Amino acid sequence: MRAGLLTLCVLVAVAIATLDATRATADDVKPRLVQSYDAPAGDPLGDRLRGRAWTYDSAVTAVARAQTGDLDGAGALLDALQDVQRPDGALEGSYDLTGRDGAGPVRAGNQAWAGLAALQWRALTCSGRHDRLLTGLARWLLAHRIDDPRSPGFGLVRGGPDVTWASTEHNLETRAFFAGLDAALSGRAIDPAAAPCPPGLDGLSPAATSTLRRDVHDAVARLDRAIEAELFVRDGGGRAHFGQGLDDDTRPLDVQALGILWLVGQGRADDARAVERFTDKTMRVHGRRVDWPGASTKTFIGYRPFAAYGPDVLWMEGTLAMRLAKARLGSSVAELDRSADRWAALTAPRAPLQVNRAGGEDYHVWPAAAPAAWLVISRSSFALLQ
């Protein structure tokens, strides 16, 4: 037990250091957001992306900091996101590290994760410092639902203002955000591990609070029905899966992890285990080597990003999300933890690598902010996704 606790303490310390390290810039302007990738110098694509902060990465880093007790660090990231929030309530897809030069696309999942981070901070502080951020994000997401009862996917949130598709990932994240916001507005505990805070949000009148509470409460119920009817699939033989989105049966890893957490939160352990079996059968990988100096003799286990197509890489961010889902289901995660510990040690004190080898346009053997954050989140008490 003491050895396990020591390992966890070391991992948390390394993760905090890497989360801080991702904020470094080459000039004297103080960074406010998290650098998403620490690409090697001279990499053509990396040179273009260096100094960019994807909104999702800053949001999950804020969650991770809050989970380690760094409420000041988490709050500072949320301050920066609130400062760059658009008048319509949305956040751009990325910014430079100072919060300027916002660039799209604007996507529902980014908004939901920023909201989850703000809710986690609020649950631990009972402060309304980021309530304007929460209110704007909620109104934007509510405005982008499929609101015609005759339409397929009624109740789901579209991916963004420029698309018609609805992503399972985005909708599971949005559902979690709305459920947490409903708790905040009602004065219930946002996080089961924290005490309830007074009901409502700063800046909202009683009438506006009542309206927003009714809207998000209704949105959760609609989302639960639509996710069940349109996005969850029973395969038979004790297996089940979640598709990538409305009328899209591609099967991504992160969607399975989020779906398991949704099912666990609903008390549907049998269905959650059916998704776990499908994911372990189709996406778990073993004996993977890493294209990184000094790693040629080491092998790792984890998960690839998709069940049936896409790059055949070990994707650490998704692996850690799956680790969280399996732990909440009560499954053994010891082997995954040992592999993740060794993976993080490859690049410490820099952030953990995104993947074991390059694959396509989206997967790079670079230290990255997302796996650094998920290294903490996957072993924390974070419960809002349920």
> Cα–Cα distance between 126 and 107 in angstroms, integer?
28
Measuring CA to CA, which residue among 257, 239, 384, 249 is closest to residue 318? Answer: 257
Measuring CA to CA, which residue among 223, 222, 244, 241 is closest to residue 233? Answer: 241
Ordered DSSP codes for 178-211: HHHHHHHHHTS-SSTTS----SS-TT--HHHHHH
pLDDT of residue 276: 98
For 355, half-sphere exposure in the C-beta direction (CA atoms, 13 angstrom radius) is: 18
pLDDT of residue 151: 95
Angle at which helices 316-329 and 253-265 pack, to 10 degrees?
20
* DSSP symbol at 355: B
**What does the block give as tokens for 219?**
């949105």
pLDDT per residue, tens digit, the chain (386 aa), is 323 332 333 344 444 444 554 444 444 568 899 999 999 888 888 888 889 999 999 999 999 999 999 999 999 999 999 999 999 999 999 999 999 999 989 999 999 999 999 999 999 999 999 999 999 999 999 999 999 999 999 999 999 999 999 999 999 999 999 999 999 999 999 999 899 999 999 999 999 999 999 999 999 999 999 999 999 999 988 999 999 999 999 999 999 999 999 999 999 999 999 999 999 999 999 999 999 999 989 999 999 999 988 899 999 999 999 999 999 999 999 999 999 999 999 999 999 999 999 998 899 999 999 999 999 999 999 999 99
| Structural fold of domain 2-377 | Glycosyltransferase (1.50.10)
> Cα–Cα distance between 288 and 292 in angstroms, integer?
12
pLDDT of residue 29: 63
Residue 362: what are its φ and ψ, rounded to 5°? Answer: -110, -10
User: Is 31 within 8 Å of 97 (Cβ atoms)?
Assistant: yes
First to last CA, the chain: 27
> Cα–Cα distance between 277 and 17 in angstroms, integer?
35
> Cα–Cα distance between 64 and 74 in angstroms, integer?
8
Listed by start position, the domains of the chain span 2-377
Residue 343: what are its φ and ψ, rounded to 5°? Answer: -60, -50
Rounded to two decimals, the pTM is 0.92
Measuring CA to CA, which residue among 47, 46, 54 is closest to residue 97? Answer: 54
How would you class 215 by CB atoms within 10 Å of its CB: exposed for 0-12, middle for 13-18, buried for 19 or more? Answer: middle
